[in-house]
Amino acid sequence: MAGDSLEEYYRARAPEYEQIYYRDNPVRRAEIDAEAKRLAELVSGKSVLELACGTGYWTRVMSQTATRITASDIAPEALIEAKRKQYGCEVTIVEADMFAHDFGEILFDLVALGFWFSHHPRQEYDRLFDVLTRRLKKNGLIWMIDNNPPAEGSAEMSCHVDEFGNNYKHRYLSDGKPFVILKNYFSRNDLEEILGRRFDLCSLVYGQYYWSVVLQPSGTV
């Protein structure tokens, strides 16, 4: 069983996507708010390249303290939502496939990637890591956030696991339209092992609903 296109899924989900941040769950909300505070401090005074920016939720958080942001996503419907927001710094929004787009010669202090790592095929991590480091200044940082099973349903709700260990699960839009998408989950040890192959882990926050990391390419410190 193959999964549906993630691009198709997120294009369809764009108008309702940010509902995930406002569900009636105090613990979940507290984790998001705490991460927003950490992220705003992390990007203070920095230039940022945000990949898979989606509807701009984290773009807006970073814009309160960053100097400038280039925010990109492949889904035009998500970028429509992002362009409706008010930002606190210069934000350039680009429709782009992060794996194919040429962002030019500009280097950034920080590359941000929210809620994509869990969708990326396990057998292609090096391809993603190359993208994350390509436009990064020397001693630059990478920030990522993603969710743990309670945030999006149990990890046991799998409908298929492929030969590489990628998990596929059902997702439904508010109107009931079904999708099957790649969605992997990670323990703290998983993240340390996978990310430690290419990066120094400057921080790893592992909550009940979400995890986040700040990374630096190994050997740059």
CATH label of the domain that carries residue 18: 3.40.50.150
Closest CA to 72 of 46, 52, 100: 52
Note if the pTM is more than 0.85. Answer: yes
Q: Provide the pLDDT for residue 174.
A: 83
Residue 125 placed within a domain: yes
Closest CA to 195 of 135, 134, 131, 117: 117
pLDDT at 205 exceeding the cut of 90: yes
The per-residue pLDDT of the chain, averaged, comes to 91
Q: Provide the pLDDT for residue 2.
A: 47
For the stretch 66-123, pLDDT in tens is 999 999 999 999 999 999 999 999 999 999 999 999 998 899 999 999 999 999 999 9
Kindly state the tokens that stand for 191. 């993240």
Residue 180 placed within a domain: no
Q: Provide the pLDDT for residue 206.
A: 97
Residue 164 placed within a domain: no
Q: Is 90 helix (H, G, I), strand (E, B) or coil?
A: strand
Residue 1 placed within a domain: no
Kindly state the tokens that stand for 57. 């939720």
What is the domain extent for residue 200?
A: 6-150+185-217
- Structural domains of the chain, count: 1
Residue 175 placed within a domain: no
